[in-house]
């Protein structure tokens, strides 16, 4: 063989090797193993959820022409076009399937808690699985359920999938609630300072929860009112507000209930205000612009009010709400305080001895005290000289802090009347934060502002060193004059007789 032919043969071999090396190697596609089971993992770090897994389709392959592998539905209302199509459309269709149509298809539940955050569904048949939130906390606004289709083909058959994070598929919200005094005399919504018979106005403002898709089963605020406050049961009004506090609408009285569970004179009053179940099933509460419910009402300070820094608390106990499954949750609320005070007089003589029987009147202005008109209370000193003040209904007066005026209207027997207007001031100071259960930083001891009033004995006037002798001399002169008149009259009668 010539050198030329040898070179051409070598070249042809090199080119051939190059061509064959450029052709990709094609291996046989792996076949579906129908005997294998599938598995998947569910994760949820949010407690209080229950997820149920349902098999809604099986994976089937035909052994005759036409050869095909497809998911076949196990639930009525779900067809092959949905199963083998868009995932979103499949989820929407499954969310509309009734619970009764899903009976018998469940593969177990996953209930989340602080210690239960992961569940693996393993060794189940090949097919499509629907992971549905079948129970959840009361404040859930939205849930996106999940589907898992196994196995599926992706350059080979895949029999398991990455963990499904269910916590990312829920929108939950814990509402807030807060109580305020809306007509505070001290410019602070957490407390006020008033007198007996004054009206105190309250508002409980709570954020809403639930949604049009996940409506609430109940929604109510609970309150515990001090014995010193008399609830005005006709004062209730419920409204819906925007986030900025603008009123959207007032609710009709048929859309809420006020239930007084405890009411007795001299004791605390307990009540709750609840939206009705029928109202909760309408869309109004869940509209996008609705942010708060507002419950307003009022109470009157009564004779059982506690004076001083302890105050008269009004507790909003809680906001309680539930979902359609009856799962209930609650949010603790706050306390506001109503403060009031009283005045007292100590009556004694110049020797410091207590005097009983002195009468006094109390006035709110100096002008009324000077003219002794429009008294707000009266009092009489007892055996230890103490004077407490009562209104015309016989109730011990309770007073807002400030200045008042006292006049003694009747002195004890044998004593002079104190003839001047007496000024008495109830000084009370408040802080912006509660300390040791009170906002009061300074007030009269035990809640009573006190003033001492001293009377002196009635003393007849005396003249010089002779003391009372002048009275004896005058008396003697009167007696002598009377005797002289009698004598002269008798003598005249005797002369006429002769």
| Residue 282, domain member (yes or no) | yes
Q: Which residues pair with 121 in a beta bridge?
A: 40
Does one domain contain both 300 and 443?
Answer: no
pLDDT (tens, 9 = 90+) of the chain, 498 residues, equals 555 445 444 544 444 444 334 444 444 557 888 889 999 999 999 999 999 999 999 988 877 777 778 888 999 888 877 777 688 889 999 999 999 999 999 999 999 999 999 999 999 999 999 999 999 999 999 999 999 999 988 888 899 989 999 999 999 999 999 999 999 999 999 999 999 999 999 999 999 999 999 999 999 999 999 999 999 999 999 999 999 999 999 999 999 999 999 999 999 999 999 999 999 999 999 999 999 999 999 999 999 999 999 999 999 999 999 999 999 999 999 999 999 999 999 999 988 999 999 999 999 999 999 999 999 999 999 999 999 999 999 999 999 999 999 999 999 999 999 999 999 999 999 999 999 999 999 999 999 999 999 988 887 665 555 545 544 444 545 554 555 555 555 555 554 444
What is the DSSP code string of 270-320? EEEEEE-HHHHTSSGGGSTT--EEEEEEEEEE-TTPPPSTT-EEEEEEEEE
Q: Based on the domain organization, do 196 and 316 belong to the same domain?
A: yes
Distance from C-alpha of 145 to C-alpha of 54, rounded to nearest angstrom: 12
Give the count of alpha carbons within 13 A of 161, CB side only: 19
In a domain, residue 488? The reply is no
For residue 453, CA distances in Å to 229, 427, 444 come to 33, 20, 18
Is 57 found in the same domain as 184?
Answer: no
pLDDT of residue 23: 41
Domain end residue (candidates: 289, 322, 337): 337
Omega before residue 66 within 30° of 0, cis: yes
Domain for residue 31, yes or no?
Answer: no
Q: Say if residue 420 is in the same domain as residue 445.
A: yes
Q: What is the pLDDT of residue 458?
A: 81
Cβ within 8 Å of residue 495, ≥6 positions away: none
* Calpha distance 15→18 (Å, rounded): 5
| Total domains in the fold of the chain | 3
**pTM score of the predicted model:** 0.81
Please report, for the domain that includes residue 72, its CATH number.
2.60.40
At 277, which CATH number?
2.60.40.740
End residue of a domain, out of 309, 337, 365? 337
Together in a domain, 53 and 199: no
Residue 408 lies in a domain: yes
On whether residue 30 sits in a domain, the answer given is no
- pLDDT given for residue 22 in this prediction: 43
- Same domain membership, residue 330 and residue 202: yes
Residues 119, 211: one domain? no
**pLDDT tens for each residue of 278-301:** 999 999 999 999 999 999 999 999
Same domain, 318 and 348: no
Residues 298 and 377 grouped into a single domain = no
164, 275: one domain:
no
Is 8 within the bounds of a domain? no
Pair (259, 407) in one structural domain? no
Mark whether 320 and 443 lie in a shared domain.
no
Burial class (CB in 10 A: 0-12, 13-18, 19+), 401: buried
- Residues contacting residue 170 through CB under 8 Å, at least 6 positions apart: 46, 49, 133, 136, 140, 142, 143, 144
* Domain annotation covers residue 2: no
DSSP label at residue 47: S
Domain presence at residue 494: no
147: containing domain: 38-172
Domain termination residue (choose one: 320, 337, 354): 337
**254 in Cβ contact with 238 (< 8 Å):** no
């Amino acid at each position: 063989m010539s050198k030329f032919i040898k070179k051409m043969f070598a070249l042809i071999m090199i080119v051939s090797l190059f061509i064959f090396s450029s052709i990709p190697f094609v291996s046989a596609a792996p076949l579906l193993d129908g005997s294998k089971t599938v598995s998947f993992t569910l994760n949820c770090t949010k407690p209080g959820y229950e997820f149920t897994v349902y098999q809604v389709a099986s994976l089937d392959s035909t052994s005759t022409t036409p050869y095909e592998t497809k998911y076949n539905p196990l639930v009525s209302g779900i067809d092959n076009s949905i199963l083998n199509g868009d995932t979103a459309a499949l989820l929407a269709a499954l969310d509309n399937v009734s619970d009764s149509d899903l009976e018998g298809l469940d593969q177990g539940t996953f209930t989340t808690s602080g210690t239960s955050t992961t569940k693996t569904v393993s060794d189940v048949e090949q097919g499509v699985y629907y992971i549905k939130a079948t129970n959840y906390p009361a404040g859930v606004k939205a849930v996106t359920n999940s589907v898992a289709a196994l196995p599926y083909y992706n350059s080979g058959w895949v029999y398991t999938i990455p963990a499904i994070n269910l916590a990312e598929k829920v929108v939950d919200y814990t509402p807030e609630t807060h109580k305020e005094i809306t007509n505070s005399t001290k410019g602070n919504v957490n407390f006020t300072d008033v007198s007996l018979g004054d009206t105190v106005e309250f508002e409980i403002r709570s954020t809403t929860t639930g949604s049009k898709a996940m409506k609430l089963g109940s929604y109510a605020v609970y309150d515990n009112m001090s014995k010193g406050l008399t609830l005005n049961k006709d004062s209730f009004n419920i409204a819906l507000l925007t986030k900025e506090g603008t009123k959207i609408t007032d609710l009709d009285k048929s859309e809420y209930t006020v239930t007084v569970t405890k009411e007795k004179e001299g004791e605390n009053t307990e009540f709750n205000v609840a939206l009705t179940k029928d109202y909760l099933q309408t869309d109004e509460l869940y509209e996008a612009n609705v942010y708060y419910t507002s419950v307003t009402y009022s109470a009157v300070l009564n004779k059982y009010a506690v004076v001083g820094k302890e105050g008269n608390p009004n507790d909003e106990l809680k906001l309680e709400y539930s979902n359609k499954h009856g799962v209930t949750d609650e949010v603790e609320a706050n306390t506001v305080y109503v403060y009031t005070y009283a005045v007292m007089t100590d009556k004694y003589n110049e020797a410091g001895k207590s005097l009983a029987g002195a009468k006094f009147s109390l006035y709110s202005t100096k002008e009324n005290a000077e003219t002794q008109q429009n008294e707000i209370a009266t009092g009489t000193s007892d055996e230890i000289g103490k004077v407490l003040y009562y209104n015309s209904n016989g109730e011990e007066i309770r007073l807002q802090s400030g200045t008042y005026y006292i006049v003694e209207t009747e002195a004890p027997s044998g004593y002079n009347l104190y003839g001047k207007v007496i000024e008495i001031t109830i000084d009370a100071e408040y802080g912006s934060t509660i300390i040791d259960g009170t906002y009061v930083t300074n007030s009269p001891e035990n809640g009573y502002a006190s003033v001492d009033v001293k009377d002196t004995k009635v003393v007849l006037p005396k003249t010089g060193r002779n003391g009372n002798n002048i009275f004896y001399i005058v008396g003697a002169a009167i007696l002598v004059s009377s005797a002289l008149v009698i004598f002269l009259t008798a003598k005249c009668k005797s002369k006429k007789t002769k």
